[in-house]
Amino acid sequence: MTINGQQVEFIEGATILSIATAAGIYIPTLCYKVGLHPAGGCGVCVVEDLDTGKIMPSCATVAIDSLNLDSNSDKVTAIRNSALELLLSDHPADCEAPCRMACPSGLPVQKMLGLVAERDWEDAKNLALQYPFVCGDSLCQTPCEKVCRRSKLGGPVAICAIHRMLCDDVAVDSVKKEPSTHKFRSRMKGLSDELMLEMADEKGLRIYSCSTPIDKELAVYEARRCLQCGCGRPDDCELRDLCGSLGVKQGNATGTTRAIVRESGAFGFKFNSSRCILCGRCVREMQQHPSDKIGPAYHGRGFDARIGPPLGRTWDDMDQETVNACVAVCPTGAMVAEKG
């Protein structure tokens, strides 16, 4: 067989992809995963038969001697790119939350807030300490809070006050609540702190600045207001890496998008349908596990196809081994397992 002008030898029954990989020829893939039965569905690993013009998925096509293939022809590039553009057209997802993009330190705000929301103080503190606290300095005028999507819904999340609380290593259990907006405080004189907080929240008023100390309870309250705008795996996404390396962008193909489903399960499992590319890796992974294990399944057909727990079950029914296995094979942030 010849691929990209290079003659390669192979053992009968091998796929084009495995032969190319063994010969050091890179062919991008997405729905394929080593160890799983190939599905041949995403159209990313296509190659062109130069003699017939036929396009075939290299991950699911068994090689024969007479093939003369090109993995980078214009036709292949156009098909590969349009397959990715179609995936992006129904991927209404922010890889990075606006707060993280605005932070001069690059603090993974949503992850920190998720840990605080789960009261995982040790991990939250370890994470916060990795990013210098510069809020309120000349370097940082709280740009994260200025772009926070909760701004119009009760005010931005108190990101800076929480970051400071975690970095300061103070006895955060016993910090006195001292609203920084004195004008607001004077008008509310006589009200309990709890009621004042509630009213401030309803009115969309902020009572925190980055120098306002807050205690753990307020931090948890604030952290739970976070909409978790960004992806749970922004730095670990094959779709993002692939589109970045091939220069494929969102917006070149448009159309109807599916409803977004966000669900949780046991062991910190989270599923976000807006990140799911229906590659089926999680379903194929479960085909290798004992049949009594509860794992993801396909539901619906065509445009209505989606991933979910089997009928009559919930994500809570998955055991930890299954959760870990599914998250490990998922190429995007559709499935994550983390605290928060």
Q: C-alpha angle with apex 169: 168 to 175, nearest 5 degrees?
A: 85
Q: Which span (34-42, 108-116, 175-183, 248-256) binds ligand SF4, by CB under 6 A?
A: 108-116
150 contributes a contact to ligand SF4 by CB under 6 A: yes
DSSP-assigned states of every residue in 263-288: EE-STTEEEEGGG-----HHHHHHTT
| CB within 8 Å of 139: residues ≥ 6 apart | 104
Is residue 102 a contact partner of residue 144, using CB atoms and an 8 Å limit? yes
In angstroms, the first-to-last Cα distance of the chain is 50
Q: Which does 128 bind (CB under 5 to 8 A by kind): ligand SF4, ligand FES, none?
A: none
Select the residue interacting with ligand SF4 from 280, 295, 309, 340 (CB under 6 A). 280
Q: Which span (44-52, 73-81, 145-153, 241-249) binds ligand SF4, by CB under 6 A?
A: 145-153
DSSP letter at 215 equals: -
Q: Are strands 68-70 and 297-299 parallel, antiparallel or unpaired?
A: unpaired
Select the residue interacting with ligand SF4 from 98, 104, 213, 310 (CB under 6 A). 98
User: What are phi and psi for residue 199, nearest 5 degrees?
Assistant: -65, -40
Closest CB to ligand SF4 among residues 246, 297:
297
CB of 40 to ligand SF4, least distance (A): 14
Closest CB to ligand FES among residues 71, 274:
71
Q: Which does 43 bind (CB under 5 to 8 A by kind): ligand FES, ligand SF4, none?
A: ligand FES
What residues between 35 and 94 interact with ligand SF4 by CB under 6 A?
none
β-partners of residue 135 are 140
Helix (H, G, I), strand (E, B) or coil at 128: helix
List residues near ligand SF4 by CB under 6 A. Answer: 97-99, 109-110, 113, 148-150, 157, 159, 226-230, 276-282, 296, 307, 329-332, 334-335
